[in-house]
């Protein structure tokens, strides 16, 4: 039986435009793949309740889907306020979306003064095969280290691969970091 302890955690999912943030969230929250999503203007907010059986608690995730285009940068800084978790997201078919995550980290650190937990997601796994990979694992692991994230996940919003694991890991990390 799950205890009545309920927590609310704000999470921001970030990354360049077109990396699949919105499709990841539709898959995670609604259980469906959205083929055609519109450009996120500013932010969209998704809610998802999960249970962490190992801690006997129920958690509600308030997930802020931030517009990835550079012209939203001046507005985004305010959206990071009070976030407990960050999901850095890149497109496995677009190397620039991985290297741009350093800029995202710098932006987040300006807008979010308190400590936060984070994971790294490489999305669009369904579009690559191992022999044709454009982004090698060494570059990904180097970025993981630079961003100080706890774990790296490869996901496919289309096939619903790895998404639940990434959010669950982040929720556990936040719970451990915020619970005395």
93/18 Cα distance (integer angstroms): 11
Where does residue 101 fall: left (phi above 0), alpha (psi -120 to 50 degrees), or beta otherwise? alpha
Domains in the chain, CATH or no CATH each: 6-178 (3.40.50.300)
Residue 40 tokens read as 């996120």
Reference 90, options 77, 81, 103; nearest CA is 103
- Mean of all residue pLDDT scores within the chain: 88
User: How confident is the model over 19-76, as pLDDT tens digits?
Assistant: 999 999 999 999 987 776 665 555 689 999 999 998 889 999 999 998 755 645 556 6
């Amino acid at each position: 039986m799950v205890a009545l302890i309920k927590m609310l955690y704000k999470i921001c999912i970030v990354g360049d435009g077109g990396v699949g943030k919105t499709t990841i969230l539709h898959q995670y929250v609604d259980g469906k793949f959205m083929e055609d999503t519109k450009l996120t203007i500013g932010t969209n907010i998704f809610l998802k309740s999960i249970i962490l059986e190992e801690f006997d608690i129920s958690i509600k995730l308030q997930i802020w889907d931030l517009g990835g285009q550079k012209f939203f940068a001046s507005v985004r800084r305010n959206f990071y306020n009070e976030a407990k978790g960050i999901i850095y997201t890149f497109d496995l078919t677009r190397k620039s979306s991985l290297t741009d995550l350093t800029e995202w980290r710098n932006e987040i650190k300006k807008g979010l003064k308190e400590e936060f937990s984070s994971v790294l997601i490489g999305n669009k796994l369904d579009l690559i095969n191992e022999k044709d990979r454009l982004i090698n694992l060494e570059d990904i692991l180097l970025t993981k280290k630079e961003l100080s994230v706890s774990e790296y996940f490869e996901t496919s919003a289309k096939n619903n691969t790895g998404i639940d694991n990434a959010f669950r890991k982040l929720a556990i990390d936040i719970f451990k970091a915020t619970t005395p």
